[in-house]
Amino acid sequence: MVADLPVGQCLHDHPGYYNAFALAPGYLGMTPAVGSLLWTASSEAVGDELDLHVTATHLLDGSLSPTGGAIVLAAALVQPESRGTITLASRNPKDPPIIDSNFLGTGRDARRMVEAVKLGRDIARHPVFAPFSAGEMIPGDAVGEGTLAEVVGANLAVYGHPTSTAPMGSPTDPWAVVDSLGSVTGVHGLRVVDASIIPEVPSATTNLTVIMLAERIFQRAFAR
Ligand SMILES: Cc1cc2nc3c(=O)[nH]c(=O)nc-3n(C[C@H](O)[C@H](O)[C@H](O)COP(=O)(O)OP(=O)(O)OC[C@H]3O[C@@H](n4cnc5c(N)ncnc54)[C@H](O)[C@@H]3O)c2cc1C
């Protein structure tokens, strides 16, 4: 043992749900139907949190739709409070690790996730949007208020933004693994600079944040 650090104990990621609609026959030309993002506050947001995304995407093969075209209103909770874990399955580096995202690990997260899906459904049923839709495919109109939470919880998607498995913090933070320049606590000459050191997942997609982090640490640690 070189350093006993809480690696993998604060995994943070965005849970999502693909709310899918068949495109109306007159609007199949919308495929791929990408291009807008609603970024807003849930009814349980605290302060200036913008904790929900609803993104119009083409992430469903049109051949799965009865009309030959589909649009997804992808709902995501982008300021979750639940934390998951990643642990080694064995000492063999070729064994995949054990990842527990612990999505919707709190009641507040579960309620906000459902709120995001309802927001997407409201948009799809709005008179402005409705002409483009030939009906909801997933979860489908049969899934109403009473069962929506259960269906969403059982069919979550990942937004693909895992962070915080080697979080940046001060020496007194019990959850910290690296300092503000990515140096691993107690291990001389080892730096981590990637999404894992972001202490809390940002309420946005993470690629630009990682690039910013890398450029900033390079400038502070190495640039003369
Ligand atoms: C499906 C998907 C879609 C996404 N879409 C978006 C998006 O639209 N916009 C956005 O902002 N973010 C998006 N993200 C998130 C974004 O891609 C990540 O947050 C970001 O790439 C993380 O950067 P990273 O440097 O931490 O890891 P990575 O980009 O994963 O880089 C890790 C690198 O290490 C290499 N590697 C691994 N093992 C070894 C080894 N043993 N030796 C040498 N090299 C190794 C890998 O090949 C890889 O190149 C998406 C993520 C996923 C999974």
Distance 83 CA to ligand 1 centre (A): 20
Ligand 1, residues 39, 92, 161, 198: which to mutate, most atoms within 8 A of Cβ?
Answer: 161
Please give the pLDDT value at position 54.
Answer: 96
Q: Is the CB of 210 under 6 A from ligand 1?
A: yes
Residue identifier of the C-alpha nearest atom 31 of ligand 1: 194
| Ligand 1 pocket check for 185: Cβ under 6 Å | no
CATH number at residue 43: 3.30.410.40
Strand boundaries in 88-158, DSSP class E: 98-100, 133-138, 157-158
**Residue 14 catalytic?**
no
pLDDT at 109: 98
Residue 217 belongs to a domain = no
Assess if residue 94 is contained within a domain.
no
Residue 162 CA, closest ligand 1 atom number: 19
Q: Rounded to an integer, what distance in angstroms lies between the CA atom of residue 166 and that of residue 197? A: 5
The count of structural domains within the chain is 1
| pLDDT at residue number 36 | 85
Determine the pLDDT at residue 62: 87
How far, in Å, is the centroid of ligand 1 from the Cα of 160?
Answer: 9
Task: Please check whether residue 205 is in contact with residue 162, taking contact to mean a CB–CB distance below 8 angstroms.
Answer: no
- Is residue 172 included in any domain, yes or no? no
- Please give the structure tokens belonging to residue 24: 């109306």
For the chain, residues with pLDDT lower than 50 are none
Is residue 192 in a domain?
A: no
Q: Does the C-beta of 183 come closer than 6 Å to ligand 1?
A: no
pLDDT at position 28: 84
pLDDT (tens digit per residue) in 20-34: 999 999 888 765 556
Assess if residue 127 is contained within a domain: yes
Atom number in ligand 1 closest to CA 205: 11
Domain coverage including residue 68: 15-82+102-158
CB of 37 sitting under 6 A from ligand 1:
no
What separation in Å is there between the alpha carbon of 147 and the centre of ligand 1?
Answer: 35
Any domain includes 135: yes
The one-letter code for the residue type at 53 is H
Whether residue 60 is contained in a domain is answered as yes
pLDDT of residue 223: 86
Cα 209 to ligand 1 centroid, rounded to whole Å: 12
Amino acid in the structure at residue 155: N
- Omega into 15 within 30° of 0, i.e. cis? no
Ligand 1 atom at shortest distance from the alpha carbon of 214: 25
